[in-house]
Amino acid sequence: MSAQCVMVLGTTSGAGKSWLTTALCRYYARQGLKVAPFKAQNMSNNARVVEQGEIGSAQYFQALAARAVPDVRMNPLLLKPERDTHSQVVLMGQVDEALSKMAWRGRSASVWPVIAKALDELIAENEVVVIEGAGSPAEINLAGSDIVNMRVALHSKAACLLVTDIDRGGAFAHLYGTWALLPENERALIKGYVLNKFRGDASLLAPAPQMLQNLTGVPTVATLPMWWQHGLPEEDGVFDDRSTAPGAVALTVAVIAYPRISNLDEFQSLKNIPGVRLQWVRSPSELAGLAPGDWIILPGSKNTSGDLAWLRRQGLDAAVAAHAGRGGPVLGVCGGLQMLGEALIDTHGIDGNAPGLGLLPLVTVFDLDKTVRHTSACFNADMVGRTGGTGAGGLILPNAQKSAPGPDPTHAGGCADAPANPWAALAGVPVRGYEIHHGQTAQHPAMAAASDVARPVLPNGLGWQNGAGNVLGLYLHGLFEDPAVLQALFGASLGGRPVPTLDAVFDGLATYIEQHFEAGVLSALIA
């Protein structure tokens, strides 16, 4: 094989490159072609585990859309920001300390041969490779050290689409300016413009598309209407505010959105559960309206001690502790689990020392070695708490919790007015997910000696629960992507409907672009 390459470039970050690349992967796969995604360099704290290490989440989902096995070659260079001026560098799935310490511009010569080799191998093994650029190809200050945009396009002889976010305004200026700043040999690779996130009457765009074509020789090949609920996890940043699934809101899930939040895409499925509202929280006032049974989630973090300090500066530590003290459900995932403990201990300068929130009697010690692996486990059958009145296979949402009978006061951590504990519904449920962490967490020895212990709910230190059962900490990412877990927690809310799948999302994306691209364009790109 020798693949034809299609590349998606953007006039800015956030223009829609990842979304469109994913859609193209599924579109070409549905034509019976062998397809692979590729992005030379991704900067994101959203990462997924593959057999050889970790890659950006966007490329992981693009591989699934292409019906391909995710592979480190699909994202050979991943930059994971830890501070404003420093990133951890992951090369071919593995952390590279030497590259992490190297100046930004100095990396190009070292990593380009690896990037080119990965791309060449994918081209040799597939019929179509769909490539995603980064930022804008017209960032002329970076052109001399480019390894992700036009250098990749020229190397692969890709047919390029240039996408812009028309909702921001200035779309035609962005398109023309980007084209004008490219040298002639790079301009020749741009085969079409794509207007993304359009709202309104498309006839009002005239005569701009034709004028732009007269200036550049490049046609506008698609106008994609705004689509808020396409279902694809965001690559970076939190989701838009339209995060309420169909139906009256019965449960609010408040996710703390600290500056170095990581792997936030694993909460995407909560947007599709009827009656659930997903809320991103940055201040205590946003937690003030939570019902006793609403959830607070502390997600993963690429800088746990730094994000914990930020959380305290905002006053969110007291707000989280108050919710937990009232019996409200709190979940910490990876870095969030570490924050829930008593202390972070770092003797290697990996993350930093810090006191924890003290909601679980645990201590985290940071290791030099990074744990990166897929994991399957089963929640203990004796998880603490109660589910309320619906029984197994359905979460009691807050409105129902208020009328549910109180627990037996003799039950561990029980109190007459405590809300129902959703985590008890996970008892005995098998779960699959992935781990990406430096920290290792265990019982606080002095507190354990005084009989203040956390209950292990998953084997090998993967999960812990407080005595009352309402505070749960897990190292396992992907909880809300596991159908068995969603069925256990939300079975009643789903009302017998199947758990929404990513595969259906990918098909929806492919159908969408097929409907809105000019006829014959997608086939012509690989002719």
Count of H helices and E strands in the chain?
16, 25
d(C-alpha 10, C-alpha 25), whole Å: 17
pLDDT at residue 83, rounded to an integer:
74
State residue 515 phi and psi, 5-degree precision: -75, -25
d(C-alpha 398, C-alpha 32), whole Å: 47
Spell out the residues 6+ positions from residue 94 whose beta carbon is closer than 8 angstroms to its own: 52, 53
Please state, as a whole number, how many other Cβ atoms lie within 10 Å of the Cβ of residue 496: 6
Domains of the chain: 4-226+504-524 (3.40.50.300), 251-496 (3.40.50.880)
- Mean pLDDT, consecutive 10-residue segments, the chain of 527 residues? 94 93 98 98 90 92 97 96 83 91 84 97 98 95 93 98 95 97 97 95 93 98 87 62 66 93 87 87 93 95 94 96 95 97 92 94 92 93 60 39 32 48 93 92 84 88 93 95 90 70 90 96 97
Closest CA to 44 of 237, 239, 258, 333: 237
214-249: burial string, b at 16+ Cβ within 10 Å, e else? eebebebbbbbeeeeeebbbbbbebbeeebbbeeeb
Q: Could you tell me where the beta strands, DSSP code E, fall in 219-357?
A: 220-225, 251-256, 261-262, 276-281, 295-298, 300-301, 330-333, 343-345, 354-355
Contact 178, 170 (CB under 8 A): no
d(C-alpha 429, C-alpha 381), whole Å: 8
Give CA angle at 502 (509, 198), nearest 5°: 30
Amino acid at 250: A
d(C-alpha 132, C-alpha 75), whole Å: 10
Beta strands 261-262 and 300-301, pairing class: antiparallel
Burial class (CB in 10 A: 0-12, 13-18, 19+), 379: buried
Q: Could you tell me where the beta strands, DSSP code E, fall in 418-466?
A: 430-443, 455-458, 463-465
The token duo for 275 is 């009656």
pLDDT at residue 246, rounded to an integer:
63
Torsion of CA 12, 54, 61, 329, to 10 degrees: -100
Contact 364, 343 (CB under 8 A): yes
DSSP letter for 517, please: B
Contact 251, 295 (CB under 8 A): yes
Question: HSE on the CB side for 449, CA within 13 Å?
Answer: 2
pLDDT at residue 437, rounded to an integer:
92
Residue 356's SS3 state is coil
R_g over Cα of the chain: 24
Amino acid at 522: L
Closest CA to 333 of 233, 433, 259: 433
Phi-psi region of 63 (alpha: psi -120 to 50; beta: other; left: phi over 0): alpha
- For residue 443, the cross-strand partners are 362
Spell out the residues 6+ positions from residue 216 whose beta carbon is closer than 8 angstroms to its own: 175, 176, 179, 187, 190
Active site (catalytic) residues? 334, 477
pLDDT at residue 397, rounded to an integer:
43
d(C-alpha 105, C-alpha 416), whole Å: 62
pLDDT at residue 274, rounded to an integer:
85
d(C-alpha 219, C-alpha 108), whole Å: 33
